[in-house]
Amino acid sequence: MVLTLAARNQGDGWIYFALTSMAIQWVSLLTLAELYLLRRSLNPLRPQYVAYVALGLLLINTCVVTGAAWLLVRDLWSMTQGGWQSLFLRLSGIALTVGLLGLAAFLNHWRARQLAVRAKQSELESLQARIRPHFLFNTLNAGAALIHARPGEAERLLLDLADLFRAALAGPSELPLSEELTLAQRYLEIEKLRFGERLRVQWQLPDTLPLVDVPTLSIQPLVENAIRHGVEPATGGGEICIEVTQQAGWVLITISNALPESAALATKGHQVGLNSVRARVTALTHGRGSVETTMADGRYIAVIRLPLLA
């Protein structure tokens, strides 16, 4: 439309508009088709270089389509030789201008995306760096409480802690659900030495665990919160329930504990573990997964919701 309105007297304006529109559409379609056919060859290249290739193809196809139009319809379109040259220059100028604008927009978007990814990675690394020492200090405190009263159990606790940290700190940032549950179980065994009969754990697991990955040390912080807020404040201790279920393509990992009888005993805390788990689950599942907490029937319930692998 811009070309038609800006053109000088070139005969019938509707014919000029139709042919120019056809040329532009063919340029666009050819460029997209060539990028599709070259996708495997372009795949190893960085996205910025692919954008440069797209700009080059756009200019080449503009020349090809304009030349083909001159060969095929020059007898049907009453346009002088100078008119065809003017049209060729206009189309080439438009292709170059639009291509450069698109390239600039893409490069700006790509830089913003890279900065966002780096910021998110830094945030997750910061959360991970906070949760692991937090876990270590709490577990060492449990061992310190046993050194004088039960030195044998304290020694076993430290040995279990060494094995647990070898798996947690030296391993990857994500683990299969079965391995993460094993880490949580080892942590509960350590805490069992500290609380004894006051800590009661109920496992509700399916015969075959779902094939899904979870962030490393994502279940353990929720178990730790359950012990701190549900078992430790209560004189008679409390029960923690860990359940894994599947529902319509989702895996639900539920950690629940009984609330203290007195509301004054419940403390909110800094939620370092909960915030870390929530952020890492969101990052691992690209926003599909979630961590939700509720209180119902006198129990505090934390649910990790993960999409099931197809």
* Minimum mean pLDDT range among 59-73, 100-114, 247-261: 59-73
Structure tokens at 83: 């008119």
- For residue 260, what are its two tokens? 């203290």
User: What is the pTM assigned to this prediction?
Assistant: 0.57
Give the per-residue pLDDT at 251.
94
CA atoms within 13 A of residue 305's CA, in its CB half-sphere: 13
Domain ranges of the chain: 2-115, 150-307
Does the domain made of 150-307 have the CATH classification 1.10.10.10? no
User: What percentage of the chain has pLDDT greater than the value 70?
Assistant: 75
Sign, CA torsion 237/239/242/246:
negative
Q: Bridge partners of 294?
A: 301
Please tell me what DSSP assigns to residue 295. Answer: E
Whether residue 162 is predicted with pLDDT greater than 70 in this model: the reply is: yes
Please check whether residue 97 is in contact with residue 55, taking contact to mean a CB–CB distance below 8 angstroms.
no
- Rounded to a whole number of angstroms, the distance between the first and last alpha carbons of the chain is 48
